[in-house]
Amino acid sequence: MTEPALIEVNGIRLRTWTLGDGPLVILVHGFPETAHSWRHQVAALSAAGYRVAAPDVRGYGGSDAPEPVEAYAMEEMTRDFADLATALSPDPAVIVGHDWGAPLAWNTARLFPERFRAVAGLSVPYAPPGDHAPIDIYHKLFTEKDRFFYQVYFQDEGVAEAELEADPEDSLVKFYYAWSGDAPEHGWPTDKKHGDKVLTGLTRPDLPLSWFTQEDLDAYAAAFEVSGFRGPLNRYRNHRRDHDFLKAHPSNPIIQQPSLFIYGDRDPVLTMFRTPPEKLLPATLADLRGVHRLPGIGHWTQQEAPETVNRLLIDWLRAL
């Protein structure tokens, strides 16, 4: 990717890579990644005739990292991307998100329909707010049964930060491998107890993997050496705040813009949803134009299967 620029949005600056000319497509990464996760898509989409913007999300890499937990609420972060779209194009943009970037993309499209003409998610399907905040559901399903769940573990400020920041390179590569399609069964352990640490039981793989090199790990580790993990983890600490905000917001919870969903059949995220995406999403996305299940692929969808993801995205974009 070319050299990034710091773009002012919503009172902060996002380090953003841009490439190409044409209709704007914003790519929103997840946890624990950076804009580097879109390295294969930036070139492909720009070559297909689009202007592509890949920011480090607030709290990550070279973007600003406010201290307060509430600075990472859905209300704030969706406005980041609306402002970024306004800064980069006078016309409505397309937004694509992966992992935490997927709920951010889905809800940015919901909250700012005038700025976004289409939305795609990878790994995490869209789900309007229900009767209870997700963290309260996780406590019932896991904490009350003395079972470990990483999002519960992430709630206490400073705890996960201390574990992950002790050796960012080791933390990241174990996390990536455990959630990938390359990991063995139970590579992400399911038998841990409440109170265990997130890295307990995770294996460090030998590199390179078919989709991930030492150079990729170096790029991620260097970014987290700068940013630390507090900002990224603060996203998980806003479940109740986000639930209350989205539940009360007057916008239509059924997303109206053309949409697309791509996921891997070995993604642990699938265990968090009782209903398969193919059955879940037609009720929540009014103009769903495809649900694509990628065999053998884990959580890191666009990194593990870049050629397939690029083809699906470009075909969808051209048909808009």
Q: Which are the catalytic amino acids?
A: 99, 299
Task: Identify which of 124, 300, 310, 96 has the alpha carbon closest to the alpha carbon of residue 211.
Answer: 300
Q: What single letter denotes the amino acid at residue 185?
A: E
What would the two tokens of residue 266 be?
A: 């070995």
Q: Which residue's structure tokens are 């996203």?
A: 235
Cβ(262)–Cβ(312) below 8 Å: yes
Q: Among 1, 9, 8, 7, which residue's Cα sits nearest to residue 34?
A: 1
Cα separations (Å) of 168 from 33, 65, 83, 193, 299?
Answer: 12, 17, 31, 24, 20
What the block records as the tokens of 48 is 């297909």
In whole angstroms, give the CA distance from residue 138 to residue 147: 10
DSSP-based three-state secondary structure for 279 = helix
State how far the Cα of 2 lies from the Cα of 46, in Å rounded to an integer: 12
- Give the three-class secondary structure for 100: coil
In the chain the beta strands, taken as DSSP E runs, fall at 5-9, 12-19, 24-28, 51-55, 93-98, 116-122, 255-264, 285-294
- The CA distance from 258 to 271, in Å, is 26
Q: Helix 168-178 vs helix 214-227: angle between axes, to the nearest 10 degrees?
A: 120
